[in-house]
Amino acid sequence: MSEAGASETVDSRMDIHQILDYLPHRYPILLVDRVLNVVPGERISALKNVSMNEPFFPGHYPHHPVMPGVLVIEAMAQTAAILAFKTMGSKPDGKSVYYFVGIDNARFKRPVGPGDQLIIDVALNANKRGIWKFSATAKVDGLVAAEADLICAVRPTP
The torsion angles phi and psi of 66, rounded to 5 degrees, stand at -135, 130
Return the pLDDT at 5.
44
pTM of the model as a whole: 0.92
Residue 4 has pLDDT above 60, yes or no: no
Percent of the chain at pLDDT > 90 equals 85
Using the 8-state DSSP alphabet, how is residue 14 labeled? Answer: B
* Residue closest to 112 by CA, chosen among 26, 51, 63: 51
Mean pLDDT value of segment 45-73: 97
User: Bridge-partner residues for 154, per DSSP?
Assistant: 98
pLDDT tens-place string over residues 87-124: 999 998 888 888 999 999 999 999 999 999 999 999 99
Establish whether the linkage from the previous residue to 24 is cis, with ω within 30° of 0. no
Return the pLDDT at 3.
43
* Residue closest to 39 by CA, chosen among 94, 82, 91, 93: 82
Domains of the chain from N-terminus onward: 3-156 (3.10.129.10)
d(CA 81, CA 114): 25
Enumerate the active-site residues: 60
* Residue closest to 75 by CA, chosen among 111, 49, 41: 49
pLDDT tens-place string over residues 76-93: 999 999 999 999 999 988
